[in-house]
Structure 1
Amino acid sequence: MGKLTNTYRNESVHDNCVFIQNRWFHIELCYSGCVDSVLFTTPLLLKLHTAHTIHVLSSTPALVSSTPFSAFLHKHCPVVSERFSPTPWCWGGRLQTLVCAVLKSRPPVTYRNELISTVDGGQISLDWMDNKDSATYPESSTRPTVLILPGLTGNSRQSYVLHALNQATRRGYRCVVFNNRGLGGEELLTPVTYCAANTSDLEHVVHHIKGLYPSAPVLGAGVSLGGMLLLNYLARKRTESGMVAGFTISVPWNALKSAATMEEPLNWLLFNRYLTAGLCNAVTRHRKVLEKVVDINFVLKAQTIREFDERFTSLMFGYKSCSDYYFDASPDNKLHNTAVPILCLNAADDPFSPQHAFPLTTIQSLPNVALLSTAHGGHIAFLQGLFPRGESYMECLFGQFVQAAFEHPQDIRKACGIKDEQRS
């Protein structure tokens, strides 16, 4: 029995050897005149190889945090201490990201939509999952609320949002999804959209939620660009955020470094151009309103996210350059201003958020921020199991952290060095 490598399907027989090549493995076997015996043992070899692959790829995620916060997480979020085993046939960051987009299931959800007006005459679409049948929190006024912020062009229909909703609602909590302007199916009433650095709409939404349920704690959960927005908001509002904790998945820590990574040829081919097309489609959908402030035809010629941000986002929000916008949008330089417990999940092989941009030194010096990093997982994927259609590692971690923050508020504040008078 010989070597295992990563190639494609091709079977051939030469002399006294049979070569069986598969998309995920290559087995070279020697035999003595009987190919049938080799074929008979192949299923067993496949099982052994799969088990070997899972063992090799699985590892315990690295947790960077203060000692007290780490102890809290290990006690109340057991998945932190467990080995993460990515899907054995889908473990590379790019492949995890692509497969997740295609295979991940979308649980059925019935939302209650609410449109709220903004001070500039615009409107924001909120999708609520009220969870009125919650046995744990039957009283609506005190039912904990999870505020979910989707990614770059995402909304409440994304698979990761729907699975997160399931995790939260089955624990008895209420959920509300904050759709960025123009992405929730609503009309754009003013020539203003959204960006990772502008937190005014999020502040308005939090104020609205707290006005409806002043006695209900709120936890913010942001995904990708939604995570950037959440962290920037928590840094600017500090002790006045109105949130008890924050959770992020696959946040790009440094926008400039993420842009550079996304412009690498393969990443541009697989991801960047499609995301840019999605941004351009959103502009086209609201063309009549947006053409008052930008050159639409010039914007629609953008081939990368950076070009789009140069021609559209940075101009709309008053930045002198795209570099200025990216610096302002990057949460890595603001973490020290946050004042609530925050857990962040990233993968080292994320093609959107490069590992060298993780602010490890900063996080090590902060009592209230923790970064959990897996070796594999891609961008908003973290797939596991042979058929990764259901809940993944990121949703399991999300559910456990949300429950820990809501059910043990005093313990988590103490672990993060937050005094009661600092409470949001």
Structure 2
Amino acid sequence: FFGNGLTTFLFDFNVNTFSVYFRVYLYSFSFQTPALICSEAFSVFLKKHCPVVAERFCPTPWCWGGRLQTLVCALLKSRPPVSYRNELIRTTDGGQISLDWVDNHTSETYPDSCARPTVLILPGLTGNSQQPYVLHAVSQATRRGYSMILLNYLARKRTESGIVAGITISVAWDALKSSDSMEEPLNWLLFNKHLTNGLCQKSCRHRKILEKVVDVDYVLKARTIREFDERFTSHVFGYKSCVDYYRDASPAKKLPHTAVPILCLNAADDPFSPQSISIVQTLPNVALLLTAHGGHIAFLQGLFPRGESYMERLFGQFVQAVFEHPKDIERACGIAKDEPSQQHSDGGGEKPSRDVSSQ
């Protein structure tokens, strides 16, 4: 009898403990709607065509904190099957660019390949077309009928880039502050060390070419991303120091020079991006969606977060909104477009390309 009573007590205690934890979780997280920072007109457009921006974001309850979200996403995220067509382009300096295409010839929405919108994805540091977040983004786009290409020139070319809009996920807006955050002991152990090793491995793989311009042995001794950039990246691109390179490379400096609609998703607990951007309040074409939690390229939801995440739902809705309501988003962002030529407006001639860039 005592044993059964003790078992019942422990069971009731555990149930009550879980109930208390779940109520605390609901109070702490489920009533938090991400902060949408942008012009009123852009906000109206997003809330109308991307309803996920107004939803409450409830992160996976057992993924507590940005670091755990980031790690779990990298380890447990599912990988939807994607078939790529690879294209290699040789550059004038002897290098080559590798493009992975998803032509989506089975698209029922856009059966004509010349009229099919294209989504351009630029993976992050050491990323590639096989990353889970890339595969899920491809899945979101292809199910809506679009083509994909995985390969930044929004700021440099402005409206002449051929890009009609952009979406960024977990961008580190200030490279110097991001580097400081990544060198904190726990962040170095969990992330910085691994990424640095990956960069060194790539350098070692191309040693014969790189040793013509850098001391490869010195580069391979780097223990942080900052050390690698000091010894390799900044040197190769002609900067006097890593600090100069980081100042020039920080994306926050480039936002004022963009001229297409851009939606930026960041999490306040992202170890890679410790500080959000405030300049968006003065830019009519830029919107910042800031969640309290979500980590770096994670934003996991549900008890078993292997499938579609918050960021992937946002990606799919925004891309669809851009392609299906181009005039609305141009007006919302105050972007003036040249009138199409007669051959475009009357249905004749080559149709202009429509691309969305994702980083």
Q: What is the deviation of 1:319?
A: 0.6
Q: What is the deviation of 1:36?
A: 2.9
Are residue 175 (structure 1) and residue 148 (structure 2) matched? yes
Paired residue for 2:316, among 396, 399, 403?
A: 399
Q: Name the residue aligned to 1:218.
A: none
Q: Name the residue aligned to 1:300.
A: 220
Are residue 290 (structure 1) and residue 238 (structure 2) matched? no
Q: Name the residue aligned to 2:256.
A: 336
Q: What is the deviation of 1:292?
A: 1.2
Q: Name the residue aligned to 2:96.
A: 123
Q: Name the residue aligned to 1:36.
A: 7
Equivalent positions of 1:50-199 (< 5 A) are: 50-58=22-30, 59-178=32-151
Q: What is the deviation of 1:242?
A: 1.1
Q: Name the residue aligned to 2:344.
A: none
Unaligned runs of 5+ in 1: 1-32, 179-229
Are residue 367 (structure 1) and residue 284 (structure 2) matched? yes
Are residue 409 (structure 1) and residue 326 (structure 2) matched? yes
Q: Name the residue aligned to 1:352.
A: 272
Q: Name the residue aligned to 2:196.
A: 276
Q: Which amino acid aligns with 1:133?
A: T
Distance 1:119 1:413 in 2: 36
* CA displacement, residues 278-335 of structure 1 (integer Å, 9 cap, x when unaligned): 0001101111111111111000000000000000000111111111110110011221
Distance 1:407 1:390 in 2: 26
Runs of 4+ in 1 over 3 A off after TM superposition: none
Q: What is the deviation of 1:51?
A: 4.8
Distance 2:104 2:23 in 1: 40
* CA displacement, residues 329-381 of structure 1 (integer Å, 9 cap, x when unaligned): 001122111100000000000000012xx221x10011000000000000011
Q: What is the deviation of 1:49?
A: 2.8
Q: Which amino acid aligns with 1:93?
A: G
Q: What is the deviation of 1:48?
A: 5.3
Q: Report SS of the residue matched to 1:71.
A: helix
Q: Which amino acid aligns with 2:294?
A: G
Cα RMSD after superposing both structures: 1.6
- 140 and 351 in structure 1: CA distance in 2 versus 1, 3 angstrom threshold: same
Q: What is the deviation of 1:385?
A: 0.4
TM-score, structure 2 length as denominator? Answer: 0.91
TM-score, structure 1 length as denominator? Answer: 0.77
Q: Report SS of the residue matched to 2:266.
A: strand
Instruction: Identify the structure with bigger relative contact order (alpha carbons < 8 Å, sequence gap 6+).
Output: 2
Q: Name the residue aligned to 1:385.
A: 302
Q: Name the residue aligned to 1:49.
A: 21
Unaligned runs of 5+ in 2: 341-353, 355-359
Q: Judge conservation of contact 1:146–1:168 (CA < 8 Å) in 2.
A: yes
Q: Name the residue aligned to 1:26.
A: none
Distance 1:383 1:100 in 2: 7
Distance 1:103 1:48 in 2: 27
